[in-house]
Amino acid sequence: MTEKNLKFIDLFAGIGGFHIALEKLGHECVFASEKRVNLAELYEKNFEIEVNRDITKIEVSEIPSFDILCAGFPCQPFSKAGKQDGLQDERNGSLFDKIVDILEFHKPKYFILENVRNLISHDNENTWFYIKEQLENKLGYKIDKKIYSPHNFGIPQHRERLFIIGSSDGLDHFEWLETTNKTTSIFEFLDEKPVNARKLEEEKIEVIDIWQEFISKIPLKHKLPGFPIWSMEFGATYPFEEKTPYASSSIALGKTKGNFGTELKGISRPEKFKNLPSYAQTEENEFPSWKKNYIRKNRAFYEKYKDVLEPIVNKIENLKIASWQKLEWNVQGGERDLYKYIIQFRGSGVRIKKTDFFPSLVTVSTQIPIISWEKRYITPSEGARIQSLNGIDLPENIGTCFSALGNAVNGTIVRLIAEKLIEKKPKTIKLNGKSKVMNGHKINSNKTSELDYERIE
């Protein structure tokens, strides 16, 4: 049976993913913090509770007593997309220690923390060892961790996140949720012809049309590349195997070609570098193997199909943004029609995804997923539905809205975890083929008959 009417606090609350999940289970929020003013004001409007702006300036004694601490503490120090400074991050790294201070003072029964999966491996796992040391050895909680994604629970989105749970009473009663991986169609999450949808810009439609023309040039009997297509390598001959352009002399570099076969002869060294792909301008003596591999494969691909691709490559070269000159075809074996897929304009290129999963909602507002067959972006309500956060007001600004949704914890996953963590149902384990209840006791499993099992303190 799940404990009812517990009190929880919501730290780094964002738009309230934890709040929605815990409130559905009958629990009451008694304190919330969110530093971003626009999100704090929206939280107050949605949940009718005062939001404290800066948790670092709050004395822990000022926080009301509570039973559950919830925190999706800032992930930038650990994210692959950030600098990965971890707990040394000047702005956000110390926020975990604030969580520890609050737990130490109030001693709540439970906590649920959420962060990026990269936190576990950050700094050769030293970050995780520190977190574990603080929560278990210093504070005395029994903790556990698990990586979950919405697609594990029927939601068509890949978005892996780390969940850390803790209980002062131990975790003998707790079992992580079994995953199904049977996802609902994304079409059940889409609005039908939404009138408020943001239409796709004409210049991006042109980009899609150009890449559509590009892939149509490849014979159907040949597979499209499984590696990212970097069109700026088409015609390029600058050095990349043994040494980089940075490690090459200006004279040697002048004998090669840069972006789209641009001659590098007769121009200054700075001008030479301006005519190289951005990823080839790095100040390093040798490229990593993955970069060499992509360059090598792209040049070989172009040489193979040069005769049919050359006319369309000129159009790609004229695209004004370098990332638009890259294509990530993630629908290998699928129909070669870009207008049947989900599309994202990412920093790494124009990404084409199957319609069985939504791409992760990221905090970069320029990467909002595109419903290509309707030539529109997904709507805020669709994004909220994917995050299991429907029913609340969202930021009016589109960029702010999707940044908030990208930062938010998935409401369904939190609700399911909290339900298991807080319930008092004994955990059942299997020993020698027999199911025995373990409820805070060790079980002597050196017997083969169910009647021979003994519980010992």
Catalytic residue numbers?
75
Q: Distance (Å, rounded) from C-alpha 280 to C-alpha 273?
A: 8
CA angle 261, 205, 155 (to 5 degrees): 110
Q: What is the DSSP string of 171-237?
A: STT--PPPP---PPPGGGGS-SS-TTPPBPPHHHHHHHHHHHHHHHTS-TTSPPPSS-EEGGGTT--
Q: Report CA-CA distances (Å) from 360 to 150, 157, 204.
A: 10, 6, 20
With residue 133 as reference, give the H or E element that holds it: none
Q: Distance (Å, rounded) from C-alpha 350 to C-alpha 189?
A: 23
Q: What residue type is 4 in one-letter code?
A: K
Burial string for 397-408 (b: 16+ CB within 10 Å, else e) reads: ebebbbbbbbbb
3-state secondary structure of 310: helix
Report the first-to-last Cα separation within the chain, whole angstroms.
Answer: 24
422 in Cβ contact with 110 (< 8 Å): yes
3-state secondary structure of 73: coil
Q: Report CA-CA distances (Å) from 157 to 213, 248, 348, 415.
A: 29, 44, 20, 17
Q: What residue type is 78 in one-letter code?
A: F
